[in-house]
């Protein structure tokens, strides 16, 4: 034993000396790229080169017919104003160039040509500009534009446009099913591509990719479209740290833009599946002295009443939809118990409902948020639950 201890001590001293000399170190986890580049183009091996640049808004362009998903409001000059996460639009054309119009100094966007097989362009904070894509091989293309960051306030998307030498094609057909995901930062995919919990604000911006969160993963697996009503820090009755009690999901859900209550909401299709995973922020922090709740039992009781009322509203808005209740089990019985009661009540109402209670997650992305591995796990559970519900 003494010989073993001497060897371990020697090894510890040797490693310390190597580290001090710069000869050895523990590998640091990969960090998101900062500052985020304005444009990043990715080509699969063997794909032809094309150009992508941000330019001043151009005159004489024609809007392509769009298939859009995500809650939005109408703005001026064909602008769509959006703030909730996961907004995306698709169009089709035949030619060698296309333009995407932005009025957005806040967000990151991803443009996929032919589902990324022709190329992928990531754009960050484009401002009031056109992303002009040129030099494509003359052919038929499907283009998808999706917001992958979380908005702190409303921003505008100006559509997908073409010049006179490009032929417009009908918009892609809508997928047969729509899944709506309701939640908080975990649903948004807050910093989900990070591999460290300690992050700067810019690293969070770089690492957040809503398209890789569990909701879009589930939709992709099931051949469905998705709509996301989610926001970091939001709760059903109280937001994170008890902040903004009047800006909870209870009062913000119906809004076109969560920070502009007066904005008119554009029509949207009813959902075939509604996944509700709200409540983590309600129970995430200690109570402030001026809050009406001062213990978990009273909050859990009121949360259960509010949850059932909220879910019944979603049932009325989406007749016949499967209601999937997503409870983050790591918050314990105070959160899971109201979800169990809501499941029983909805089933008694004759609603098709399924409860998914998640196990403890690793949460090793920024600020203890779910990582890519966690999101894949959640997607596995949800896809299985939705499939078993017969949708």
Nearest Cα to Cα of residue 232 among 291, 288, 287, 152: 152
Stretch 328-349: mean pLDDT = 97
Look-up of token digits 């769509």: 80
Residues 6+ apart with CB under 8 A from 162: 61, 62, 64, 93, 95, 97, 98, 99, 168
The predicted pLDDT at position 72 comes to 97
The predicted pLDDT at position 32 comes to 79
Nearest Cα to Cα of residue 166 among 145, 141, 144, 146: 141
Local structure of 44: helix, strand or coil: coil
Local structure of 135: helix, strand or coil: coil
The predicted pLDDT at position 21 comes to 33
The predicted pLDDT at position 391 comes to 66
The predicted pLDDT at position 290 comes to 85
Q: Does position 26 have pLDDT exceeding 90, yes or no?
A: no
CB-based contact 133:48 (threshold 8 Å): no
Percent of the chain surpassing pLDDT 70: 91
How does pLDDT run across 316-335, given as a tens digit for each residue? 999 999 999 999 999 999 99
How does pLDDT run across 213-245, given as a tens digit for each residue? 999 999 999 999 999 999 999 999 999 977 666
From the number of C-beta atoms within 10 Å of its C-beta (0-12, 13-18, 19+), residue 325 rates as buried
Q: Does position 121 have pLDDT exceeding 90, yes or no?
A: yes
CB-based contact 66:170 (threshold 8 Å): no
From the number of C-beta atoms within 10 Å of its C-beta (0-12, 13-18, 19+), residue 223 rates as exposed
Stretch 291-305: mean pLDDT = 94
The predicted pLDDT at position 5 comes to 34
The predicted pLDDT at position 31 comes to 74
pTM above 0.85, yes or no: yes
Nearest Cα to Cα of residue 324 among 282, 290, 300, 353: 353
Q: Does position 112 have pLDDT exceeding 80, yes or no?
A: yes
How does pLDDT run across 201-214, given as a tens digit for each residue? 999 999 999 999 99
Q: Please, which pLDDT band fits residue 15 given cuts at 50, 70 and 90?
A: very low
Phi-psi map region of 220: left, alpha, beta (phi>0 left; psi -120 to 50 alpha): alpha
């Amino acid at each position: 034993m003494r010989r073993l201890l001497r060897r371990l001590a020697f090894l510890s001293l040797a490693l310390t000396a190597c580290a001090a000399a710069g000869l050895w170190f523990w590998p640091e986890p990969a960090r998101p790229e900062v500052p985020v580049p304005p444009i990043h183009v990715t080509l699969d091996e063997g794909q032809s080169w094309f150009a992508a640049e941000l330019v001043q808004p151009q005159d004489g362009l024609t809007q392509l017919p769009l298939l859009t998903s995500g809650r939005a409001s109408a703005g001026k000059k064909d602008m769509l104003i959006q703030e909730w996460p996961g907004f995306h639009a698709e169009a089709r054309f035949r030619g060698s160039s296309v333009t995407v119009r932005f009025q957005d100094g806040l967000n990151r966007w991803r443009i996929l040509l032919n589902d990324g097989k022709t190329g992928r362009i990531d754009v960050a904070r484009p401002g009031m500009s056109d992303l002009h894509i040129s030099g494509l091989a003359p052919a038929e293309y499907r283009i998808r534009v999706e917001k992958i960051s979380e908005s702190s306030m409303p921003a505008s998307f100006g559509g997908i446009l073409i010049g006179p030498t490009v032929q417009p094609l009908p918009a892609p057909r809508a997928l047969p099913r729509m899944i709506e995901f309701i939640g908080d930062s975990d649903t948004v995919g807050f910093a989900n591509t990070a591999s460290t919990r300690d992050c700067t604000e810019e690293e969070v911006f770089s690492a957040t990719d809503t398209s890789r969160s569990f909701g879009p993963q589930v939709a992709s697996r099931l051949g469905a479209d998705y709509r996301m009503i989610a926001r970091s820090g939001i709760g059903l009755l109280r937001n994170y740290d008890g902040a903004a009690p009047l800006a909870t999901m209870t009062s913000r859900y119906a809004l076109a833009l969560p920070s502009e209550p007066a904005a008119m909401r554009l029509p949207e299709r009813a959902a075939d599946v509604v996944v509700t995973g709200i409540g983590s922020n309600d129970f995430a922090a200690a109570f402030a002295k001026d809050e009406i709740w001062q213990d978990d039992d009273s909050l859990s009781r009121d949360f259960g009443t509010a949850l059932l009322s909220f879910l019944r509203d979603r049932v009325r808005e989406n007749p016949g939809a499967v209601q999937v209740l997503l409870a983050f089990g790591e918050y314990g019985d105070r959160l899971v118990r109201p979800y169990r009661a809501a499941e029983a009540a909805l089933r008694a109402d004759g609603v098709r409902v399924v409860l998914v209670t998640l196990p403890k997650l690793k949460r090793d992305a920024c600020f203890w948020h779910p990582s890519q591995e966690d999101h894949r796990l959640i997607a596995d559970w949800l896809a299985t639950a939705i499939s078993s519900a017969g949708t």
